[in-house]
Amino acid sequence: MIDYLLNTFKEKEGLDLSKDRRAMARLKEGAETCKIALSTQEEYHLVLPFIAEKEGSPLALDIVVKRGLFEELIGDLVESSLKPIEVALGDAGLERKDIDIILMVGGSTRIPLVQSFLEKELGQKPHSLVDPDLAVVMGAALQAGIINRELSPEDDILITDVCPYTLGVEVVDFIGNFPVFDAYSPIIPRNTTIPVTREEIYGTMVDNQEKVEIKVYQGDYRKASKNNFLGKFILEGIPPAPSFKEKIKIRFTYDINGILQVEGVIVSTGKEAGISIETTGVEMEKEVDLSNWKKAPGARKYKGIIRRAERALKQEVDPAIQIDLDELIKDLKRALIQQEDKEVLEDLEEELVDLLYDLEEEIDV
């Protein structure tokens, strides 16, 4: 909405307001007022007097914005919410028909387009049983009461929280008899209800291995190093034995405060070591919706190589190469959307071409 108002004023008056902080503050306030009004009426007359000056004369922004235009401006944003909905349903193991009720949260859910979009995609009318503007803060207050033991899960209310990202460790995987380094082994999948304790057992890598370094990551990439590194510790004192004979149990305990307790135990002796990690302060890489990569500037140049790589990904290839191929495709799409430098795009394209060239003898790409 702000961009539309800026462009409209620039076309009419020949002035760019984007570098005028005072004008932008007024424009933002006006756009917000207009957005709210269009949730209950078909059009809104926005007037911002004395917003700029030209040749000594004051200028005003005077425009009538219709709901249809506003919906056209936000249409892509509304439609982009479909993918997170599908991800949430998939993670929960649910289908649309399993949803009992749709509760609206946040002021923007008052927009008629948002409501009609959800009704169309989910097959039922959404409800505002709680004030959408207050729903989140009310839930936070209830959760605070439970954490402080002012509310009882047995007598008052039970609110379940989930682990927002997958938690796991770096391992050496094996494809056939060949080691694959930098592999990621999830221990607590994302959206697991917390508090939770999960554990996995791994074997030693080499003969007579005396110690193991346990590296903990947060994220969903198949390569460990692509995820967010949380911490590491050393577990020593492994008894001499052939590779894979000695077992290491790794236990993750994640609580409602975002504290991750990681313990490594030598199964044969019971010796253990561990680390405590505060995960809530970890800055995660911003998630990028890759579904609209074709609309990114310059995407046409890379469509051919990406389609070719996606075809190869659907065929039976070495799992280790499949991981690299999947990551390169995502990296190139992400770079296009984020409008990275030409050199970055060309480097990713070259890596993708080299990988596909290595696959040519195995599959038809």
pLDDT in tens, 189-227: 988 999 999 999 999 999 999 999 999 999 888 889 888
What value does the mean pLDDT take over residues 242-256?
A: 95
Question: Which of 188 and 316 is assigned the larger pLDDT?
Answer: 188
Give the integer Cα–Cα distance in Å for 242 and 233: 23
Q: For the chain, give every domain's residue range.
A: 2-75, 96-147, 167-278, 290-359
In what helix (H) or strand (E) does residue 201 lie, and over which residues does it extend? strand 196-203
Q: Is the pLDDT of residue 153 over 60?
A: yes
Question: Which of 69 and 154 is assigned the larger pLDDT?
Answer: 69
Give the integer Cα–Cα distance in Å for 18 and 14: 12
Instruction: Determine the pLDDT at residue 317.
Output: 67
Instruction: Determine the pLDDT at residue 88.
Output: 85
Q: Is the pLDDT of residue 157 over 90?
A: no
What value does the mean pLDDT take over residues 326-346?
A: 90
User: How far is the CA of 44 from the CAs of 59, 66, 72, 147, 208, in angstroms?
Assistant: 20, 6, 15, 45, 76
Q: Is the pLDDT of residue 364 over 60?
A: no
What value does the mean pLDDT take over residues 335-364?
A: 84
The highest-level CATH class for domain 167-278 is mainly beta
Cis peptide preceding 195, ω within 30 of 0: yes
Q: Is the pLDDT of residue 275 over 90?
A: yes
What single DSSP character describes residue 127? B
In what helix (H) or strand (E) does residue 193 lie, and over which residues does it extend? strand 193-194
User: What digits encode the pLDDT tens for the residues 89-100?
Assistant: 887 888 999 999
Lowest mean pLDDT among 162-166, 199-203, 242-246: 162-166
CB 262 within 8 A of CB 274: yes
What value does the mean pLDDT take over residues 250-266?
A: 94
Q: Is the pLDDT of residue 311 over 70?
A: yes
Instruction: Determine the pLDDT at residue 282.
Output: 65
Mean pLDDT, the chain, rounded, equals 89
> Residue written as tokens 């902080």?
21
User: How far is the CA of 293 from the CAs of 84, 89, 105, in angstroms?
Assistant: 16, 23, 28
Instruction: Determine the pLDDT at residue 71.
Output: 96
Instruction: Determine the pLDDT at residue 191.
Output: 86
Fold of 2-75: Actin; Chain A, domain 4 (3.90.640)
User: What digits encode the pLDDT tens for the residues 7-59?
Assistant: 999 999 999 999 899 999 999 999 999 999 999 999 999 999 999 999 889 99
Instruction: Determine the pLDDT at residue 257.
Output: 84
User: How far is the CA of 279 from the CAs of 73, 159, 230, 282, in angstroms?
Assistant: 37, 20, 8, 5
Instruction: Determine the pLDDT at residue 286.
Output: 64
User: What digits encode the pLDDT tens for the residues 284-308?
Assistant: 666 677 777 888 888 999 999 999 9
Q: Is the pLDDT of residue 1 over 70?
A: yes
User: What digits encode the pLDDT tens for the residues 170-193?
Assistant: 999 876 677 888 999 999 998 899
Above pLDDT 70, what percent of the chain? 95
- This prediction's pTM: 0.66
Instruction: Determine the pLDDT at residue 238.
Output: 96
Question: Which of 132 and 358 is assigned the larger pLDDT?
Answer: 132
Other CB atoms within 10 A of residue 130 CB: 14
